[in-house]
Amino acid sequence: MSSDVIVLRPDMPMLEAKEEMRTKRITGAPVMDGDRIVGIISMSDLIDAMENGRMDTRVIDNMTRIVKTVLKDAPVTEAINQLGRKGHSRLPVTDQDGKLVGIVTTGTIIRALLHEMDVSFQKKEAERLHTYRASHIFEDIVSDDTSLVLRYVVDDKDFSNAGKASSMIKRSLQRLGVDPALVRRVAVAVYEAEMNLVIHTDVGGEIVAEIRKDRLLISAVDHGPGIEDLTRVLQPGYSTAPEWIRDMGFGAGMGLANIKRCSDMMKLMSEPGGGTRLDIHFVFGKNDKSLQGG
Residue-wise pLDDT for 153-165, tens only, equals: 999 888 888 889 9
Whether pLDDT at 217 is above 80: yes
Asked if 97 and 167 sit in the same domain, the reply is no
Beta bridge partners of 179: none
How many CB atoms sit inside 10 A of residue 290's CB? 18
CA dist., res. 48 & res. 44, Å (int) = 6
Cβ atoms of 276 and 221 within 8 Å: the answer is: yes
Asked if 105 and 149 sit in the same domain, the reply is no
In a domain, 283, yes or no: yes
Cβ atoms of 165 and 154 within 8 Å: the answer is: yes
Number of domains in the chain: 2
Cβ atoms of 203 and 233 within 8 Å: the answer is: no
Asked if 84 and 198 sit in the same domain, the reply is no
Closest residue by Cα to residue 198 from 256, 251, 258, 261: 251
In a domain, 80, yes or no: yes
Give one DSSP letter per residue of 190-229, joined into a string.
HHHHHHHHHHH-SS-EEEEEEEESSEEEEEEEE-SS--S-
Asked if 183 and 268 sit in the same domain, the reply is yes
Region 204-223: mean pLDDT is 93
Cβ atoms of 210 and 217 within 8 Å: the answer is: yes
Asked if 222 and 105 sit in the same domain, the reply is no
Asked if 90 and 203 sit in the same domain, the reply is no
CA dist., res. 49 & res. 57, Å (int) = 9
Asked if 186 and 91 sit in the same domain, the reply is no
pLDDT confidence of residue 132: 47
Task: For 80-146, list the strands marked E by DSSP.
Answer: 90-94, 100-105
Q: Which has the higher per-residue pLDDT, 99 or 119?
A: 99
Widest CA span of the chain, in angstroms? 66
Task: Residue 267: give the domain boundaries.
Answer: 143-291
In a domain, 121, yes or no: no
CA distances from 216 to 151, 160, 180, 186 (A): 13, 27, 14, 9
Read off the pLDDT of residues 34-52 as tens digits, 9 standing for 90 and up. Answer: 888 888 888 888 988 998 9
Burial class from Cβ neighbours inside 10 Å (0-12, 13-18, 19+) for residue 245 reads: buried
CATH number, domain with residue 249: 3.30.565.10
How many CB atoms sit inside 10 A of residue 95's CB? 12
pLDDT band at 187 (very low <50, low <70, confident <90, very high): very high
Of 85, 110, 135, which residue sits at a domain end?
110
Beta bridge partners of 235: none
Whether pLDDT at 98 is above 80: no
pLDDT confidence of residue 289: 44
Spell out the long-range contacts of 227-235 with Cβ–Cβ below 8 A and sequence spacing 24 or more: 227/268, 227/270, 227/271, 227/272, 227/276, 228/272, 230/268, 230/270, 233/268, 234/260, 234/268
Asked if 159 and 272 sit in the same domain, the reply is yes
Which phi and psi (to 5°) does residue 185 adopt?
Answer: -60, -45
Of 89, 110, 131, which residue sits at a domain end?
110
Region 263-286: mean pLDDT is 90
Whether pLDDT at 9 is above 90: yes
pLDDT band at 127 (very low <50, low <70, confident <90, very high): low
Cβ atoms of 157 and 224 within 8 Å: the answer is: no
Q: What is the mean pLDDT of the chain?
A: 82
Read off the pLDDT of residues 48-73 as tens digits, 9 standing for 90 and up. Answer: 899 899 999 999 999 888 777 878 88
Whether pLDDT at 225 is above 80: yes
